[in-house]
Structures are given as C-alpha cells and as structure tokens.
Amino acid sequence: MKGAYEFSYEDNMMDMFSLKGKTAIVTGANTGLGQGICVAYAKMGANIVAVARRSCDETKALCEDAGAKFLEIRADLSSTEPINMIISEAIKTFGQVDILVNNAGIIKRNDAIDVTEEDWDSVIDVNQKVVFFLSQAFAKACINNKNKGKIINIASMLSYQGGIRVPAYCASKSAIIGLTRALCNEWASKGINVNGIAPGYMATNNTTQIREDQSRNDAILERIPQGRWGTPEDLQGAAVFLASNASDYVNGFTIAVDGGWLAR
C-alpha cells in the first residue's frame, strides 16, 4: 500500500525487524555482549560471522540451535592485519556482508599517572583504530557490491563521562561516538547506516572487577534508576533495531541502553 509520499508500508510490521538472509559480522563474539548480539541476530534469521580470539563453540551452539548458519573466524583484533581476511572469508562463505558490529573491546584499569604507553596503545588499537579500519573494509565491500550496510559501534557510558582510572578506555569510547558521526556523514549517501549503542553497566567479564568491589558495586547500583546491572539480553533489542530495515533513517546516532544511568 502506498502512503502520501509514495513510500510503501510494510504489510507485516515484524518484517521490518527481520534479518532473514543477511550476513552479520560480530567481533568479540565468544562471550558477553557480543555473544548476546550473535544469538539475537541468529534468531532474527541472519547468517553469523563470529570473530574472536578464542573459541566460539558456545556462541556457535546457541546460534545453530536458532537455525542460523555460522562461520567462526579466529582473529586477534589488536592489529589491522586480519581485517582483509575477515571480510573476504565472510564474502566467500555467504556472498556478501550486510551488518558489522564492532563489539570487541578491552579495558585497562590504572591511575592515570601510572598508565604506560604500551597499555594506552593496546586499548586504543582494539577499541578505536581497528574499529575504523574494519568499518572501512566493510564499507568498501558494501559499496563495491552495491548492497546496503549497517555498522553498529559499541560505545559506553564513558563515551559521555570520564570514568575512574580508565583514561585510555574513556578516550577510545569517546572517539567511537565521533567516529560514528564522521562515518555517517561520508557513507549515508552510499546506503550505509553507522550508529552506536552505548551500554550502561552490564554484568560481563568487562565489569567483573568493579562488581567484586563491594563499595563500587553499591555506588553503581544506587545510581542506576532501574536499580540493577544490565545483561546481554538487554542489548538485543537495540542491536536488532539498528541492524534491520526498521532503522533505515536512523544514522550517526548512539543509543544508550543503560537503565536510565545518563538521565541522572
């Protein structure tokens, strides 16, 4: 059915959110938020390309149970070296790439006064440099093949705030919001949406240390309006939305999924 502006409405609203037949590359897919995103995409019909340093057996089983085709790519994303291989293996297996989730990330906690150059570089390389060059390779593949693309960058509350004893992480995640806007400006006209998700405080390996520190844990919970840590499941809705046709006119924006943390 045509609307007043000659666009057509979906007959079934659920189709807007379907990822049937799309191929999604998710980095850091073996655990935590990356695993949750893979499972959500698998349930919505996507082929999964799981990129990780370690075995993705658990993620593979969960995705295959949901009926998805699954390709595991072992890669260390602390350098740009594996990027071309990741894109070419994904295309060789599934024909094209449609979705990229830049989820892999590391955090190093230390007083700013004691941070070494090595620690600084290791965080910036994974969280920022490789995110840019993997996005660039993905965008080239979409443009060459003339297919639409969706890039989703995993940001953080520390894209907006300073945090405590994590200066390189804060710098890298703040950069992610700027990069999301910058890439939108260049690639939106080529059919590529570049958006971000800023998770709040989520119960994963990334936050084990602060959850085990009773006073930090209490202070964090006290400040979250919803009064609980987030889970990988909490991120799935936003991740599906930004990968699907439902978000075709959303571009350059980072959505917080934080139980209200930023509202305080």
Interface contacts to ligand NAD, rule CB under 6 A: 28, 30-34, 52-54, 76-78, 103-106, 126, 154, 156, 199, 201-202, 204-207
Q: How far is the CB of 226 from ligand NAD (least distance, A)?
A: 14
Q: How far is the CB of 232 from ligand NAD (least distance, A)?
A: 7
Minimum CB distance to ligand NAD smaller for 21 or for 225: 225
Minimum CB distance to ligand NAD smaller for 30 or for 244: 30
What are residue 24's DSSP bridge partners? 48, 99
Q: CA 3 to CA 64: how far, in whole Å?
A: 39
Q: How far is the CB of 108 from ligand NAD (least distance, A)?
A: 11
Q: How far is the CB of 94 from ligand NAD (least distance, A)?
A: 20
Residue-level length of the chain: 264
Minimum CB distance to ligand NAD smaller for 29 or for 141: 29
Angle between helices 57-65 and 32-43 (to 10 degrees): 20
Residues annotated catalytic, as ranges:
169
Q: What are phi and psi of 255, to 5 degrees?
A: -95, 130
Minimum CB distance to ligand NAD smaller for 27 or for 244: 27
Residue 8's contacts (CB-CB under 8 Å, 6 or more residues apart) are 1, 2
